[in-house]
A and B are shown apart, each in its own frame.
Chain A
Amino acid sequence: MAKVTFREDRCKGCGLCETACPKNIIKLSKERINQKGYHPAEVVDQDACIGCAFCATICPDLAIKVEK
């Protein structure tokens, strides 16, 4: 099973990961705000993740770790 972990404190809410995810399961949180003051990205349906690491590949801030 694939697992995506966000280092939320590093996320700047740019949303590039959203554009890359083939499963459309990454969204910027509407409620939460991180230490930096951004709405961090989060996986809304972990079970659907295929572990392709596209999100991590395009993340400019090394905020994403992907395990399979």
Chain B
Amino acid sequence: MVVFDKPNGLTDAPFHYCPGCTHGIIHRLVAEALDELGVTDKTVGVAPVGCSVFAYNYFNCDMIQAAHGRAPAVATGVKRGEPDCIVFTYQGDGDLAAIGTAETVHAAARNENITVIFVNNAIYGMTGGQMAPTSLPNQVTQTSPYGRDVTVVGYPVKVCEMLSQIDGATYLERVAVNDVKNIRNAKKAIKKAFKYQMEGKGFSLVEVLSTCPTNWGKTPKESLKWLEENMKPYYPLGVYKDKFANEEAK
């Protein structure tokens, strides 16, 4: 009996990501969730700009490649055009929390019935390791070579915390993919987000703490540890909002 294999929700194209980059895990979790819910064939995904710009090569469903930060607006258009479709965006931290902040906040405010997969690895990967809106204080990046100086460039944006103040948002959870237990929790959160969309419950965002070994200048194994020791304390895991938590508990 096969206990584990590639989900049908992914194509067979090998990922272009660097060794140890956890994008691949998150891709798989999304595809597994869609497959298990039986909706892959009516799903439309929206790819961002950044490392996951080529996500359209991997998800085995209809895909749109959006401009930097605009994925939630594009997803809104698709969902309003075809409400029967399951629509998700897959966005990194630069895309979602810097250039696309307005689109993110307002999609949440409208309680747009879409699912946002937000991959936070605290750095711009595709352009070669620049400071992200989520880079940690004192984090060294290509554009903060002396460490992120919060007196000059300000503080990281905590997306789940910020969106939790928005009445419209339905479900916000932060998860991580740095060990098997966290990966399993991440899967549950992603699946719940899609399930909520199927039930017409509105906007959900799952923030996934992810690694970037190449631009962090660490080995893949060290990166798992760095996430655990540095990112998790600043970005605590957990459910930040769930309008239907009681219902789910029953």
Contacts and interface: CB of A to CB of B under 8 A. Distances in A.
Chains A and B touch (C-beta atoms under 8 A apart): yes
Contacts of B25: 57-60
A45 interface: no
Interface in A13-59: 13-16, 18-20, 38, 51, 53-54, 56-59
A5 to B, nearest CB: 9
Interface string B173-185: 0000101100110
Nearest to B182: A58
Contact of A60 (B20, B179, B184): B20
A3 B24 CA distance: 23
Contacts of A56: 4
Contacts of A53: 3-4
Interface residues of A, number: 27
Nearest to B58: A62
A62 B2 contact: no
Interface residues of B, number: 29
Nearest to B178: A58
Interface in B78-98: none
B243 to A, nearest CB: 30
B15 A60 contact: yes
A14 B4 contact: no
B67 to A, nearest CB: 27
B30 to A, nearest CB: 13
Contacts of B184: 57
Contact of B180 (A20, A65, A68): A20
Interface string B1-35: 11111100010001101111111110010000000
A62 B3 contact: no
28 contacts: A14-B19, A14-B20, A14-B213, A15-B20, A16-B20, A16-B224, A18-B221, A20-B180, A38-B19, A51-B3, A53-B3, A56-B4, A57-B184, A58-B25, A58-B183, A60-B20, A61-B15, A61-B17, A61-B24, A62-B24, A62-B28, A65-B5, A65-B6, A66-B3, A66-B4, A67-B1, A67-B3, A68-B3
Given A53-B3, A58-B25, A20 B17 contact: no
